[in-house]
Amino acid sequence: MKRRMLTIAAACVLAAGVGLPAPAQDYPTQNIKMIISFGPGGGSDIIGRIVSQRLQEKLGQSVVVENRAGAGGMIGVDIVAKAPPDGYTIGLAAAGALSSNIHLYPSMPFNPEKDLAPVTMLAIIPFFLVAHPSQPGTLKELIAAAKAKPGALAVGYGGNGSTMHLAGELFNMMAGVKLQPVPYKGSGPVSTDVLGGQVPLGVVDVPSAIAHVRSGKMRALAVTSKRRIVAAPEVPTFEEAGVPGYEAIGWFGTVAPANTPAAIIQRIHRETVAALQDPEIRERALAAGAEPFTNTPQEFAALIREETRKWAEVIRTANIKLQ
């Protein structure tokens, strides 16, 4: 009887093990899915695909990319948040879904801090504050003009609740001015209208404006990052141009479901960081308008918390609400 019970117990243990993920040290043993929470063709998609290709080479398993755009990036990130925490579903998520959206929408299908495991940032996306040549030539002159006639100047941006929108509102708060916000569907149309003089100012991503800035048809008054960017080293930062402490960048990174084993997180982190240190990959990322930037999972989590607090104040002060 005792021998029979031991045999049954052993069989139960074996049966219970069927379908469980392989130990972290054996990871990966099957294909990995990377969910990109934006449509194909943009900077985040380009970098996500570059990284996925390198992960595939280093991990020895196929990394299948799926674009799941919509709802400010939340549709794709929600898929990751609800996936099994086994390392076989990872995602590319941006600032909106991970920090600001929780204060913009009445409800979210996931909690960024509780339902996701940050792996690493991938890149930052600075923005330009651009102006038609008929407008003030420097940021200090713009601030003086805006204070002289509050509400007289308009600023275009790509999408209500986008980081570009919030960057404009942060400028209003920190400079003590009131530029009238004008929403567009993307940076491209904003750049086009600034170029044609339909709107005097715009907060736009670098790729949509850089050619016009270089040709002199559009003026970049400042870049929203803490440091000047490689693509336009002649453009000052907001801090240099007269708004101390200002920073408002778009960013995106890799996340996994919460409770994914630490060893798997570290493996994905190590290979991702190595990929973005490759000079060829960095060059391709810069050409896509993004500056590669990596950090540890702990640093990425801290950044998400910091950005969440920062944008909460801006959203509350500007009374921005989305449905």
Name the DSSP class of 290. -
Mean pLDDT across 283-287: 82
Asked if residue 208 has pLDDT above 70, the reply is yes
Yes or no: say if 188 and 180 are a contact pair by the CB < 8 Å rule: no
Asked if residue 16 has pLDDT above 80, the reply is no
Asked if residue 6 has pLDDT above 80, the reply is no
Window from 15-24, 160-169, 264-273 with minimum mean pLDDT: 15-24
pLDDT of 217-249, one tens digit each?
999 999 999 999 888 999 999 999 999 999 999
Report yes or no on whether pTM surpasses 0.85.
no
Q: How far is it, in rounded angstroms, from Cα 79 to Cα 203?
A: 31
Q: How far is it, in rounded angstroms, from Cα 240 to Cα 243?
A: 7
249 backbone dihedrals φ, ψ, rounded to 5°:
-120, 150
First to last CA, the chain: 65
Q: Amino acid letter at 309?
A: R
Q: How far is it, in rounded angstroms, from Cα 84 to Cα 59?
A: 19
Q: How far is it, in rounded angstroms, from Cα 158 to Cα 92?
A: 20
Closest CA relative to residue 255, chosen from 213, 221, 288, 303 = 303
Yes or no: say if 135 and 219 are a contact pair by the CB < 8 Å rule: yes
Q: How far is it, in rounded angstroms, from Cα 297 to Cα 187?
A: 30
Task: For residue 182, give the 3-state DSSP assignment.
Answer: strand
pLDDT of 155-207, one tens digit each?
999 888 889 999 999 999 999 999 999 998 888 899 999 999 999 999 998 88
pLDDT of res. 19: 43
Closest CA relative to residue 167, chosen from 127, 122, 123 = 127
158 backbone dihedrals φ, ψ, rounded to 5°:
-90, 90
Name the DSSP class of 87. S
Asked if residue 1 has pLDDT above 60, the reply is no
pLDDT of 81-105, one tens digit each?
999 999 999 999 999 999 999 999 9
Yes or no: say if 158 and 130 are a contact pair by the CB < 8 Å rule: no
Q: At what angle do helices 206-215 and 187-196 cross, to 10 degrees?
A: 20
Residue 147 pLDDT grade (very low, low, confident, very high; cuts 50, 70, 90): very high
Residue 70 pLDDT grade (very low, low, confident, very high; cuts 50, 70, 90): confident
Kindly give the pairing relationship between strand 250-257 and strand 89-94: antiparallel
pLDDT of res. 161: 87
Higher pLDDT, 143 or 282: 143
